[in-house]
Structure 1
């Protein structure tokens, strides 16, 4: 058993194959691991949810597993629920379970919710009311403006400042890149810097326009999907929290608490001093 470095992009499938074969956990562009992975050979990369599915199928059979969930997305899903709920944690549900039922299984909301983060830090923000009639399937979440992504459903406490949450995560994600391409090495730190101005009520309208101009410049241009995910996280957040953005541009913040919600580890220097640093 080997353990890759504790870096966000080190968990990307090509980075894992790169780590197992060459000892450096940076994403690799081109052929996917199932085509050409460890030492140039086809490589299967599984995640926890896949292994959970295999265990259920081995125990109860394929027909039983296929009978769960929706026809378009049969089986079960692991959902990491956190934020403003009474009992946060990872729960296993039949795919297609209503969002309201997922929240009930977590013993309900612990406070008023401003919005949901779906899919994790590379995911998308959705207004709280948008998920009222949604179920946990890729199609239903997408119709509400979200993504399943890493299976995260985070309820943001309405008392917290959402702009500060955007800045904290964007800054951390900028420091988690491998520094292999321009969008990660230069684009993400620039976006994080602009968000820092906005979160501190120091941004002007022109600064906000600069953020929106930079976001499309980092998408579909990286060696992996890390910059695309960060851009989606930020752009959907700015859209969902547009009223709070307006407050900040006028030098105010409507947050009732200085507390933060989203878990963010200690950040690393951004941009990285050299490509692939800390990935060995």
Structure 2
């Protein structure tokens, strides 16, 4: 067989991937259904908490909590006015659904991502294995994540959240790893001289000093989650992405602008709340 014949023969990568997906669906439907139920219950819990009471009560509590903990009256006023505008535009229910999906995605991403980042910082083998995987996850187009999520978990918010987790988990992993690696050897040596065990070294020295980098990873995770949650409307996820998608299909400029304004307001609020000066 000549070089030309080899090059003209297509490698059936697509068929291989399809066979792998079919194998997983056929043999692991039980664990997939259980995982879907767990994610769905977390989304439902967040949504129930966020939608408890009148929206104005939520807005007031949110504004007062921001003023109390962030010590920023301007930010609190912006949050109150922004949420009131979203309520006036009749986008409150989609906003709550989007917030619940984002909180679930960020929660799962951090629960998985921060421990993996810690392992990356302490194990060269884990670092070498995960580096190309993270490169692949951060460069592949976000729409591609929707395909396996849809095949494994069907239409709905659960698929959107799972696709969002895969899309947004890389920054917490990498920035946790970076923050721990940047802790100086002198401080680690001081901890050892005082008799710190590896676990004490992690919780009392490495994680506190790596906190600014970790918080940056949290902030990026939130922003990526917001963008992916909106895109996930293409596979049946609710929230602000749904009116955006509907406006595209019907060429409704007004609806698209109103829904987009809700996304912008939510993005600005979350960015200001979870940003950290370093």
- TM-score normalised by the chain length of structure 2: 0.29
Larger radius of gyration: 2
Which gives a bigger RCO, structure 1 or 2 (Cα 8 Å, sep 6+)? 2
- TM-score normalised by the chain length of structure 1: 0.29
| Structure with more of its chain in helix, by fraction | 2
